[in-house]
Structure 1
């Protein structure tokens, strides 16, 4: 059997295992990566030295630490209380909390954002005697939506930036805002968020109620907020100076994370066991999963499978730029609604770029469509993204059983509205 088909079988089996056993996704990915090394498709040095992007992993782990400290500081809760106190009615208060969730999620990992905002939402629902179900679903989908907006919002955004940097010769934190002199993906996501906010206001305005009074929280410290701001400014500066994601970007985030942990231990005088608990609680499964996926997709590309898939899709699309755009969007939404979007976007980025090249297009149009569809498509089902699964678990602890159909009641219109709004922006600006 040709090596190409053996690699394809390995990749397909890995994908199936990730879908069936999402809790063991790192084992599936690392096992598949090891097989490609054993078969000689990639060498150990090539796998660890070229295919695995350690800069992306450093940014991911470092930003997770800073996010945990930001939650610990209680600053998000203080901001949320202030928003509620200054909102004229219940509908606006809820939508404002959802929008704040999205804004935080643009710079803090989605699951962490949901975990910090969930108690606020639940307390507000209890005070107003509201069913928390759809408010909680709103937190998850808004967090996933804005996770697409910046380099540090979500792993797919980091993967996108890494690929775009190699393709364009420079793509980092700043290019999510302005790229090649045009408004970039950040603004496409904000258009989607505004459309989503109108949708939620139309839903929650029916709940009635005037101004809401809540007890004001107090923050523990502003240090984690300063670290978060320094991370954002530092990544922007590194992106400007070095033209994208560089070793400096990864080291900067890791150094800030270490500084935060030292502050947590020495200044806040938290115990060593709490520091270890925080470190152990980070999403190491996704880190290992990314390592395995980088290697497997590198092997898939090396044997020519990605090029074959690109040629097939280009044949289906023909000369229609719009049909290619729509196919990428729809396929991305449907696949990401049911399976992890990380392996999907790693596989599809070079395919989207080659499809664009075959149509004499700038790759940005199809690549942005892919990022929007694969990230926002995760909102479609209760298991389409980690934040969704966490939300269902939180509701279950509150004695609320969220059914698949209940999730779809919010997720389908929200996903269609936000993807459509963002996609129209991308088409108008980047066509």
Structure 2
């Protein structure tokens, strides 16, 4: 059975290689890999997935072989994360439809003294929205304002669109509902919504990320200061409805309230967000008097690819975790550090930045959280030091290249449609310094607070 761990690792390595090489088919590769892992688990009970002794004793019977299938779907797949992501995507789509984000951004632009401040204010607003709304949706919400401003200034919108993407990626890390990696981290570490602000009487990941945001705003002000200092008036756009904003606030405060409820039921947060999303769809259909086709179109345009991608990744990484490979990797990394807390911190941070610059950070987060925690425990440190370093490095590292995050790809598509094809080198001009500056700022505060 020992060799099965290497078979599962080989499946994962091939899966990752194919995902990187053929991004458009990534769901196929993760799904096939997940099916292979489940089949192996069924053929060799106890060889991959953990099975209780009383069921394992029935190895020759159907229950022992079927347990891996049931265990994979009910325990390995994190349905709470799936429900939160699905519900928040629906609310985000309705939020875009409402035009409320555009109204808020217009007010910010009108209140700014010059274009440099206005551009940074829009980027800051992008970050604030991304705290609670999925990153891709945030870029789509703010893109029209950014493009309109660039047209008035008669400048290439490429770098401004890069700014929208990287700022949304940065702030998506700040709260439980901002981005899938944060949801995954919260589920793994047992963090409530409030723990992202204060945990164990210490400032938590929210404030660490805000340090990076302040550094990012300073960087972009210096970058865009050359575009002139004349005041630009924005053109107002009427709000369709305030209801999606109410749903968004209910989601935020509801998740905060649920964090105070101590229960063994694992899906409270996910069901809450999913119900709010369903209410939003019903409001869209009956109050806004949309046709069934309109509702189907909205649902169809949700990011289902990421949902199915997550399902496959959960199974494959779950298989790796339960075979003990991650514990072996943790011991290896802890050995490399030689017991040095600072070296371990830097290794996790740097490796996370580099890998996430080219690979989707969701599977990386799922795979590495147990590694970071095991490393910290092996070295008798607070697990938050390494787990936060992993979260900061992997989420901010996605800003490094145009392929490091979904929001980056969306931003490239928008400017290409506007007639400004984005080059890889053009992204690096902004992405590299932004990533280094923001990650360094966040890492310094993280070290001071949790080391």
1-structure distance, mates of 2:263, 2:96 = 31
Three-state SS of the structure 2 residue aligned to 1:410 is helix
Q: Tell whether the 8 Å contact from 2:133 to 2:177 is kept in structure 1 after alignment.
A: yes
Decide which moves more: 171-180 or 137-146: 171-180
Three-state SS of the structure 2 residue aligned to 1:379 is coil
2-structure distance, mates of 1:246, 1:186 = 23
Q: TM-score, normalised by structure 1?
A: 0.97
Runs of 4+ in 1 over 2 A off after TM superposition: 242-246
Residue in structure 1 matching 2:389, options 369, 379, 383: 369
1-structure distance, mates of 2:4, 2:271 = 38
Residue in structure 2 matching 1:105, options 123, 130, 134: 130
Deviations 1:61-114 (A, max 9, x none): 000000000000000001111111100000000000000000001100000110
Shift of 1:137: 0.5
Decide which moves more: 147-156 or 237-246: 237-246
Q: Tell whether the 8 Å contact from 2:358 to 2:398 is kept in structure 1 after alignment.
A: yes
- Counterpart of 2:199? 179
- Counterpart of 1:323? 343
2:284 counterpart of 1:264: yes
Q: Tell whether the 8 Å contact from 2:131 to 2:175 is kept in structure 1 after alignment.
A: yes
2-structure distance, mates of 1:244, 1:413 = 44
Shift of 1:244: 10
- Counterpart of 2:28? 27
CA RMSD for the aligned pairs? 1.2
Q: Residue 110 and residue 118 in structure 1: after superposition, are their counterparts in 2 closer, same or farther (change >3 A)?
A: same
Deviations 1:306-327 (A, max 9, x none): 0111111011001110000000
- Counterpart of 1:250? 270
Decide which moves more: 18-27 or 59-68: 18-27
Decide which moves more: 88-97 or 251-260: 251-260
1-structure distance, mates of 2:199, 2:223 = 35
- Counterpart of 2:162? 137
Counterpart mapping for 1:4-403 below 5 A: 4-40=5-41, 41-42=48-49, 43-165=68-190, 171-242=191-262, 246-403=266-423
Higher gyration radius (CA): 2
Deviations 1:98-143 (A, max 9, x none): 0000000110000011011111100111011121111111000000
Q: Which runs of 5+ in 2 are unaligned?
A: 42-47, 50-67
- Counterpart of 1:406? 426
Shift of 1:243: 7.4
Deviations 1:348-381 (A, max 9, x none): 1000001101111010000000000000000000
2-structure distance, mates of 1:288, 1:244 = 26
2-structure distance, mates of 1:89, 1:95 = 10
1-structure distance, mates of 2:233, 2:270 = 43
Q: Which runs of 5+ in 1 are unaligned?
A: 166-170
2-structure distance, mates of 1:108, 1:129 = 30
Q: Residue 245 and residue 136 in structure 1: after superposition, are their counterparts in 2 closer, same or farther (change >3 A)?
A: farther
Three-state SS of the structure 2 residue aligned to 1:141 is helix
Deviations 1:226-248 (A, max 9, x none): 00000000000001223799422
Q: Residue 356 and residue 245 in structure 1: after superposition, are their counterparts in 2 closer, same or farther (change >3 A)?
A: farther
